[in-house]
Structure formats: C-alpha cells, structure tokens
Amino acid sequence: MATLPSRRVRAATRGELRRRRRTIAQAIGSDSVLLIPAATEVPRNRDVHYPFRQDSDFTYLTGFPEPDALAVIVPKRKQGEFVLFCRPRDPEREIWDGFRHGTEGAVASFGADQAFPLAELDAKLPELLADRRRIYYPLGTEGDLDLQVMEWLRAVRRQARAGVSAPNELVSSDRIIHEQRLRKGAGELAVMRAAAAISAAAHRQLMQTCQPGLTEQQLEGVFLHACAEQGARFQAYQPIVGGGANACVLHYIDNNAPLRDGDLVLVDAGCELQGYASDITRTFPVNGRFSPAQRALYDLVLAAQRAAIEQVRPGRRWNQPHEAALQVLTRGLLELGLIEGSIEALPRLIEEEAYKPFYMHRTGHWLGMDVHDVGDYKQDGKWRRFEPGMVLTVEPGLYVAPDAPAPAQFRGIGIRIEDDVLVTTEGREVLSANVPKEAAEIEALMATGTSRRRPATRRRQPAPPRSQASGDRRKR
C-alpha cells in the first residue's frame, strides 16, 4: 500500500524542537525559568476518558506525547537547560495502557538533559527555581499549576537563611511562546498542507456523496471516515454539518437533521494532523443544483471571500481582509434588496454595520496547532501586519434566518466559504485550494457523484422520516 500522505511529513525534528527551546531560553534570559505542563487526561465517565490531546505549547517545545508531565527550561543551567518530569516506566500499568517513554525515554528520545518521575516534582522544583528572578508559566490557565507554583515558591523562600534567593516575578508564558508559534516553520507548513489536503479530499467526497434523504450525521460520517482513511484520526473541532436553516446557527453541531431536496448544506470541518489543524467550510446544494436565490447569495459570499483573500499578503494589516469582505457583502446585500439604502450611502451603511443581521462574525482567525490559534491580532493598539509564515482562515458568510426581515426567497439560507491561507513572501498560498468553491465547479463535481450517476428510479435512499417527504422543496 502506498504511504499515506499524512505519514510523509513531520512537524518538527529533534533539532527543530531544540532550536525552539533555545530561542525561548534566550528570550526569557538566564535569570528566569519556564514551566510548561502537559495536558492531563479528562474522565468522561468511570473508566473512560475523553480522547487525549496534548497541550499545544507543550508539544511545540517538547514533542513529548504523554499526559502528566512538566517541562522546565532553566537557561544556562550547568546540568542542562531542559528538564522533563514525566510518568516513570511501569510494567504493570503498561500491560493495561500501553508503552510509556519514562524518564529514560525522555532523555534518549526527546532530548531532555535530565528527567525525573513526576512524583519528585515537589522535591526537585525548588532547586530549579533557586536564585532565579522570574517564573514564566501559563499563569491563571492550568488547573492546579498556580497553587503548585505558590507551594514551590514557599519552599524556595524557606531556604532564605541558607542564602538562596526566591523568584519575585510571575510572568505569563503565553506571549513569548505564542509569538513564536504564530510564524510557522517549514515542517509545520508541510504538516498543515497535508492536513488541508486531507480535509479538502474529504470535502470533495462529501459533495460526491450528498443527496436528498441522507442526514447531516451521515455526511459527518463520510467526512470522518475520509479523514481517518487518509491517516488523520482526529478532527481539529467538532464538524458543523447544517442543512437548510441549520446553517444559520453558527456553531451548529447537532448534525442530526435530514438533508432536504432544494436546501443547501453547510459543512465546516477539518482534520487535525500531528497536532495541526485544518479548517474548511463549503456550502453546496443537497440535490447538486443551486436555485437562483441560493446562487445569488452564494456568488456574493464567494466574491467577498476572493476579495478578502486578495488582501492577504505581507505588510497588509489583520483587519484588511475583513474590511474587503464587508465592502463586497454590504454592496451585494443592497443590490439584492436585503438591506435598504442607496449605493452612495455604502460607507455609512458599513460604518453602521447594516450587514450585521446577516453577517455577524469576523472574517477569520489564526490557524495552527489550535484551530483558533494563538498570537496577538493587535500590536500597540493597531491591527498587526501579515508576515510570511503566518496562517489564517478567510471565512466570510451570510446567514438569513427563517424569520429575518428579508425577501422570502432568501430566508433560511446560510452560506460560509472558508479557506486556510498561508502568507508567503510574494503574497499568499491557499492551503485548502483543492476543493471547488465556484458554484459551477461544485455542480460539476456533484454531478459525478455516485448517487447522481444512477437513474432516479433506481436510486437507493434511506427512507426519509415521515415529516420529510421526499420532494419537499419548502424552506425551513
């Protein structure tokens, strides 16, 4: 079997992880210590846990995959800068839960200069904090860490008469790590390209599979299967599959309604690969053909998305894609009669947010290890400028709720088109380009779908629930 695309890429080599730790060590300076905890397992019920997902900052600096660990970076320490506390090997537990790297593995495979069992944390940490001025850690975010840090501080203070000085500043580690995470390296980009390619292929498969009578959940199932089959076992977030007016609920995740002939379906779904997210939305007609009203709104959202993507290039500011989208959307809403006013009044309508009843979110977010990735959007009070290596989503939409003050033909239509965009030195690269978004291209792809190649009389469909008689073209 050919190697899965997901296996041909690697986000970070050991050397890259070491470089990241070095950069952080230099940034915090030799009078500081950095503490970054691993994620812990979260119980779901009795002996069952939610799927484990490692903390992104911890992965970024260590690559260590296990729960219950703490990375300590102690710049210029004689015995080495990188100390990892983790679960020790445990033959008994490993029979049940599988392999653990243990302290030996932390050193041999993850480049720790020293590693200790987690149980030795309280004994060892005060030593590592002694005579340092600042502690960087995820202040105020992790469960018990704030309390633990206070305990360790007290333990250092108790050594004052022995001439040991205790840290006197606690600093959030967020900014210093997140600025680094915001600019992606070559390995990270290779993984993000692969993640986007897997999700794009899964979205194409949805378009080919979709037909009236399936449920939102069945489409979700196709997506999950397509990702898993390509090597991406986890999703970056819960997929949103909203048929008809469900698309107007921005974070709709019930995904349990039948898909109706004549409706659109909005699918916002993206896999996670090696801890990196993809985030793609496509909206397409359940029966393979856009109605004129759907097409009018769809083409408007697409024009807004293209105008927004055009603004992604080095030097432009974060808000420029959003503002380009607002220009196109507001003008289009005027022309289609969804908002009232004259074209001369366009700047005032934008200023007054006349689009807000139909477009209530912003046009994107940073993308990386987290789907809503880290990194400041403003610097010194101004929207920050794009730089090569930054990745963002561009995702305008229009949502005309069933009871919206809008012409009847538009009510109950929700549309979003979302791509993942890398800022390059020349401009941009759309990582998720490999799934159609022109209406005609979508219709052409859907026409090749398995369901549509068969004559209508021979179509096999799951029986729709009684309230959803087939052929029902009414909008919700």
Which residues are catalytically annotated?
47, 251, 268, 279, 361, 365, 372, 395, 399, 416, 418
60 DSSP 8-state letter:
H
The dihedral over CA atoms of 24, 28, 31, 33, expressed in degrees to the nearest 10, equals -60
Q: CA-CA distance, 61 to 58, in Å (whole number)?
A: 5
Position 81 contacts ligand GLY (CB under 6 A): no
Q: CA-CA distance, 67 to 86, in Å (whole number)?
A: 8
Which one of 393, 422, 432, 449 is in contact with Mn ion (CB under 5 A)?
393
The CB-of-237 to Mn ion minimum distance in angstroms stands at 7
Question: Site residues for Mn ion, window 413-442 (CB under 5 A)?
Answer: 418
- What would the two tokens of residue 306 be? 């293209």
Nearer to Mn ion, 397 or 464 (CB): 397
Contacts 24+ apart (CB under 8 A), 189-192: 189/389, 189/391, 189/422, 190/9, 190/10, 190/11, 191/9, 191/10, 191/11, 191/273, 191/274, 191/276, 192/276, 192/277, 192/278, 192/367, 192/368, 192/391, 192/420, 192/422, 192/431
- In angstroms, the Cα distances linking 202 to 224, 267, 275, 319, 462 are 8, 11, 18, 30, 22
- What would the two tokens of residue 288 be? 């393979």
The CB-of-216 to ligand GLY minimum distance in angstroms stands at 15
Which one of 216, 395, 419, 420 is in contact with ligand GLY (CB under 6 A)?
395
Which one of 5, 159, 237, 289 is in contact with ligand GLY (CB under 6 A)?
237
Which one of 268, 272, 370, 419 is in contact with Mn ion (CB under 5 A)?
268
Is 172 in contact with 91 (CB distance < 8 Å)? no
Q: How many residues bind ligand GLY (CB under 6 A)?
A: 7
Contacts 24+ apart (CB under 8 A), 338-346: 338/400, 338/406, 338/407, 338/410
Distance, CA of 171 to chain centre: 26
Nearer to ligand GLY, 237 or 383 (CB): 237
The CB-of-253 to ligand GLY minimum distance in angstroms stands at 10
Position 263 contacts ligand GLY (CB under 6 A): no
Give the chain's end-to-end CA distance (angstroms, integer).
46
Position 370 contacts Mn ion (CB under 5 A): no
Q: CA-CA distance, 381 to 274, in Å (whole number)?
A: 34
The CB-of-368 to ligand GLY minimum distance in angstroms stands at 13
Residues across the chain: 476
Which candidate, 41, 40, 58, places its Cα nearest to that of 49?
41
Nearer to ligand GLY, 365 or 475 (CB): 365
Among the residue ranges 86-94, 134-142, 391-399, 421-429, the one whose residues contact Mn ion (CB under 5 A): 391-399
The CB-of-305 to Mn ion minimum distance in angstroms stands at 12
Q: CA-CA distance, 384 to 404, in Å (whole number)?
A: 35
Q: CA-CA distance, 28 to 202, in Å (whole number)?
A: 42
Which one of 268, 370, 419, 420 is in contact with ligand GLY (CB under 6 A)?
268
237: partner contacted, choices ligand GLY, Mn ion, none (Cβ within 5-8 A by kind): ligand GLY
Which one of 142, 188, 272, 279 is in contact with Mn ion (CB under 5 A)?
279
325: partner contacted, choices ligand GLY, Mn ion, none (Cβ within 5-8 A by kind): none
The CB-of-371 to ligand GLY minimum distance in angstroms stands at 6
Question: Site residues for ligand GLY, window 274-313 (CB under 6 A)?
Answer: 279
Nearer to Mn ion, 37 or 375 (CB): 375
Q: How many residues bind Mn ion (CB under 5 A)?
A: 4
The CB-of-367 to ligand GLY minimum distance in angstroms stands at 9
Instruction: Report the interface residues with ligand GLY, using CB under 6 A.
Output: 237, 268, 279, 365, 371, 395, 418
Instruction: Report the interface residues with Mn ion, using CB under 5 A.
Output: 268, 279, 393, 418
